[in-house]
Amino acid sequence: MMNTNIDQAGWRQHIVSTPDVLHGKPRIDGTRIPVALILGYLAAGSTPEEIIGEFPDLTREDIAACPDYARDLADYQVIHSDREHYVGKLLLVEAHRIRVKE
């Protein structure tokens, strides 16, 4: 079983989101590999070594960051306001501090 306990803010060092790459979907920094793809491999039972075999640019730390990111994302709280749709998206990004590159 893979240990996903990288340091407290570890996934934030590996996962980014930019509007011009993959339509802003979270991805591994320096790649076009979406977090969702890595999570799919893990859910299907692939080991980190097997995933790295498919995507040699990845590291074990990149892979370990994906479930940590998903866990934090699943734990976010919805905050309602008069501008719910617009503000909600901003608060979600702020709550998880996804690095947004320009």
Per-residue pLDDT tens, the chain, 102 aa: give them. 454 454 545 888 999 999 999 999 999 999 999 999 999 999 999 999 999 999 999 999 999 999 999 988 887 666 555 544 444 444 444 444 455 554
* pLDDT at position 56: 97
* pLDDT at position 51: 97
Does the predicted model carry a pTM greater than 0.75? no
* pLDDT at position 74: 81
68-84 burial, b for 16+ CB within 10 Å, e for fewer?
A: bbbeeeeeeeeeeeeee
Q: Does domain 10-100 correspond to CATH entry 3.30.360.10?
A: no
Helix (H) / strand (E) containing 17: strand 15-17
Give Cβ neighbours of residue 24 (< 8 Å, ≥ 6 apart).
17, 18
* pLDDT at position 66: 95
* pLDDT at position 72: 86
